[in-house]
Every structure is written in structure tokens, then in C-alpha cells.
Structure 1
Amino acid sequence: MAERILVPIDDSDRSTEAMEFAFDRNQDATFVALHVHEPVYGEGFAWRERDEKADDEVEQLFAHAEELAAEHGVALETVSSEGRPSDEIVEYAEENPIDSIVMGSHGRSGASRVLLGSVAETVTRRSPVPVTVVR
């Protein structure tokens, strides 16, 4: 049984489903909810940094995750980082005591998967620990 499970979160339904899946099946584990803020290019091709609105959104995500954890009676830590989500998730798993990753899939297929890439697919290929993708 996994002792520390990393659950990357965003504001998607798939993310919430993955969290609930992990909580339901691993009652004795400690969970780490990781939110990665991905900077985007704004006007003038400058990186748009995290702003106060983004920080508020992350706080809301973590509050929701903490509520779900409390409902399921599991321990939850929250962490945020900034960068490319797949890189940050894999790096966190490499540098911290993580036994597995449970994450949602956006269910992309065909051309959209090829053109847009898939965080879940990249993490699955590069992760140093087992990955469960919830669809």
C-alpha cells in the first residue's frame, strides 16, 4: 500500500474525480495535492506571472481539496509550484518521498492529443513512481 500519494490538481472535474478515487482507495495514506501554475505568454511575449487573482484561485482549489480530504478522513498536504505541469509533477515525485501519483485525464484523443500533448501521458512516461490515471 502506498504511504504518500501525489495528486496533481486543477479546477477540472477530472482532477476532483482523481482525488476522490485516490482518497476512497487509500484511506491510510498521506496525500499531497500539487497545483502547478503554468505561466503563459501575454502581450508583448512577456511571461505573465501569477497575480493576486491566480493566488485566490489556488487558495480556493486547496480549500476544496481540504474539504474533500476531511470528508474522506484522510491527511492532506498542499503544495504549489510554477512551471510546465508535467515537468513539475515529475520533478516533485523525484525530489520528495512519493510512492505513487494519481491524476485525472482530460480524455483527449486523436489529433488534439498529438497537437496539445497530454500532461497525464507525459507524467506516465517519465515518472519514477507508479501512476494511476483516472478517466
Structure 2
Amino acid sequence: MYDVILFPTDGSEGSASARDHALELAADQGATLHALYVVEALSHEASVHSMVLEELTGRGEALVEAVAELGDERGVPVETAVLEGNPAATIVDYAEANGIDVIVMPTRGHSELTKAVLGSVTDKVIRMGTVPVVVTTLED
């Protein structure tokens, strides 16, 4: 059913649950898992831009590499990527460019008011994209 699964991570508590679900789904389906970290684009005019970008890129590389190591342990092929941009738009673009069948993302359980005012990356990906999204919740 699924050949290529995307797991965008931000290293949050919720992403650990989504990561485990994505790995289980990939193992069950015999699918390749793509682990993606998006460094949110900063103003290039900021004097600290390159330092912050370097630090966030390093963090992202460590996060997606950790997913790849878990994939190796479970026999799941994992491809990794760290990109810069608007998180939701970058995830949607990546999914379309890489033939992703399903995206696995967490929700953090924000209140409905918070979601209505601020939105979330997961909400935006669901609205903007054409790829199905499996949403996981934090475990109690």
C-alpha cells in the first residue's frame, strides 16, 4: 500500500511518537522511510544568520541520522534530508518531489483556540498538501 513514507521531524516530544509509528508502518509495508528536518528560513540580513543556520542544520542532521540508525536496527531503509525553508511548504514540496505516499506527523495537542490563532505545521501540511497525512498524538 505504501512504498515511500515521509517523517518530518523537529525533535519535539511529539515527534518521537510519530517517528516510532513511521518506522513501524515502514517495516510493516516494506517501505522506504524519508526522515526530513526543515531549518526554518531566517532573514538573510541577520548578522547571526550563518551561525544560527549552521547550528540548526547540525541539529537537524543529528536528528535525521538518529532516525536512520533506528531504521537500520529495524531493517527499514531510511533516506535523510535537511532543508531550509518554510516548514509546511518545504514538507509539502518534498513530498511531491519524492513520490511520497503518506506523511506521518505529530500533533502536540494544542487547544482549539491556539490552533485557530496560530495554526501548526501539521495543520498547514494537511491543508496545503495532496499527500495523505497520518497524525499521531502524544501518549499519556
When normalised by structure 2's length, the TM-score is: 0.84
Q: Check the 8 A contact 2:37/2:61 in 1, yes or no.
A: no
Partner of 2:14: 14
Question: After TM superposition, what 4+ stretches of structure 1 lie above 4 angstroms from structure 2?
Answer: none
Partner of 2:72: 70
Question: Which residues of 2 match residues 104-115 of structure 1 at below 5 A?
Answer: 104-115=106-117
Which secondary structure state, in structure 2, belongs to the residue aligned with residue 46 of structure 1? coil
Output the CA distance in 2 between the equivalents of 1:85 and 1:66.
21
Output the CA distance in 2 between the equivalents of 1:88 and 1:55.
15
Q: Check the 8 A contact 2:57/2:82 in 1, yes or no.
A: no
CA drift at 1:131: 0.8
Partner of 2:3: 3
Which region of structure 1 is more displaced relative to structure 2, 3-12 or 111-120? Answer: 111-120
Number of equivalences: 133
Q: Determine which of 39, 42, 65 is the counterpart of 1:37.
A: 39
CA drift at 1:41: 5.3
Percent of aligned positions that are identical? 39
Q: Check the 8 A contact 2:35/2:78 in 1, yes or no.
A: yes
What do you get for the CA RMSD once the two structures are aligned? Answer: 2.0
Output the CA distance in 2 between the equivalents of 1:13 and 1:84.
21
* 1:52–1:122 distance in 2 versus 1, CA, 3 Å: closer
Which secondary structure state, in structure 1, belongs to the residue aligned with residue 72 of structure 2? helix
When normalised by structure 1's length, the TM-score is: 0.87
Q: Check the 8 A contact 1:20/1:68 in 2, yes or no.
A: no
Q: Determine which of 92, 95, 98 is the counterpart of 2:97.
A: 95
* 1:17–1:55 distance in 2 versus 1, CA, 3 Å: same
CA drift at 1:31: 0.6
User: Which ranges of structure 2 fall in alignment gaps of 5 or more residues?
Assistant: none
Partner of 1:81: 83
Output the CA distance in 2 between the equivalents of 1:92 and 1:53.
22
Output the CA distance in 2 between the equivalents of 1:105 and 1:51.
25
Which secondary structure state, in structure 2, belongs to the residue aligned with residue 26 of structure 1? helix
Output the CA distance in 2 between the equivalents of 1:79 and 1:104.
18
User: Which ranges of structure 1 fall in alignment gaps of 5 or more residues?
Assistant: none
